[in-house]
Amino acid sequence: MTAPRYQGVFPVVPTTFREDGSLDLASQKRCVDFMIDAGSHGLAILANFSEQFLIADDERELLTRTVLEHVAGRVPVIVTTTHFSTKVCAERSRRAQDMGAAMVMVMPPYHGATFRVGEPQVHAFYAGVSDAISIPIMVQDAPAAGTPMSAAFLARMAQEIEHLSYFKIETAGAASKLRELIRLGGDAIEGPWDGEEAITLIPDLDAGATGAMTGGGYPDGIRQIMDPYVAGKRDEAIAQYTRWLPLINYENRQAGFLAAKALMLEGGVIDCDLPRSPWPAMHPEVRKGLLETARRLDPLVLRWGR
């Protein structure tokens, strides 16, 4: 593989709301500052863990501009621009690039539970987005899209589509898929990345992953796994992975995308951790278990705003 432009820990920035559901941009900026202070190599915005499916188009523009201007080049920012329409996705991606995005992340085109297209249309979709921009595209290969994409198909797109070179693999058997993607794609695969809140981080790193897009609540904890691994200290990385795994598991299997905001509220980073309706708020017992698990690890998030 070629030397990647972007690697390391790029957690997803949650979108912060007030109790009435309106955007809270002051909390949003503090959230970004915390995540940078906690050691994030870069950030990702407007992803599924940012509740992108609950955000209006004009709010997407406002959030993108607000975050990129506030980050002010401190770290690279990946902007999610997923849409079913090639035209809309290309236009979103071009605007994100114009505002300073380092990369765009795009799921294959889908809508609801049944609207899908085949491989020729998926290929044409990503080619159309690539033609509109000059920054890298990350393919988000996630079950939410309901669009199976083989390692061979992903590798072919990387070889044939100019700016498509990063892959966030979140499907079952991610490590095997990453390994096969790297084998088939060669130098066209600039960034094979781990996802799913780092629940499979060590196997994915063993398979050749160079980046991790996790939840935003404890980048310092993920760095404690990634840094020794990259330095060739695999045993130390495994020990840290074992240490942080209960919290990773709690986020991945219990609290979901609300975990980061619950941790940030507890640590005084943000003012409200509610999602937007109709998504339900976190159950009090889930919150209790999440915070109990986090306190045993003392992540920066619980101290940053206090």
CATH of the domain at 184: 3.20.20.70
Residue 140 reports pLDDT greater than 80: yes
pLDDT at 123: 98
- Whether 254 is covered by a domain: the verdict is no
Q: Is residue 27 part of a domain?
A: yes
Domain count, the chain: 1
Q: Which residue range is the domain that position 178 belongs to?
A: 8-217
In this prediction, residue 4 carries a pLDDT of 86
User: Does the pLDDT at position 17 exceed 70?
Assistant: yes
Q: How far is CA 232 from CA 205, 227, 236, in A?
A: 11, 9, 9
Reply yes or no on whether the pLDDT at 306 is more than 90: no
- Token readout for 207 is 């398979």
> Residue 1: its pLDDT value, please?
58
How do residues 84-120 score in pLDDT, each as one tens digit?
999 999 999 999 999 999 999 999 999 988 999 999 9
CB 129 within 8 A of CB 156: no
Instruction: Indicate whether 289 belongs to any domain.
Output: no
294: its two tokens: 């986090």
Residue 292 C-beta-side C-alpha neighbours within 13 Å:
6
Other residues' Cβ atoms within 10 Å of the Cβ of residue 153: 15
pLDDT band at residue 2 using 50, 70 and 90 as cut-offs: low
16, 19, 21, 23 alpha-carbon torsion, rounded to 10°: -40
Residue 305 belongs to a domain: no
**Is residue 114 situated within a structural domain?**
yes
Is residue 202 a part of any domain in this protein? yes
* 138 labelled ligand-binding: no
Amino acid at position 142, single letter: A
Q: What percent of the chain has pLDDT over 90?
A: 97
- How many CA within 13 A on the CB side of residue 296? 11
Q: Convert the pLDDT of each residue in 18-74 to its tens digit.
A: 999 999 999 999 999 999 999 999 999 999 999 999 999 999 999 999 999 999 999
Catalytic residue among 168, 177, 233, 288: 168
| Cα–Cα dist 12/77, whole Å | 10
288 is catalytic: no
Query: DSSP H helical segments within 133-233, as ranges?
Result: 151-160, 174-185, 201-206, 219-230
- Mean residue pLDDT across the chain: 97
pLDDT for 169 equals 98
Residue 228 domain-assigned? Answer: no
237 part of a folded domain? no
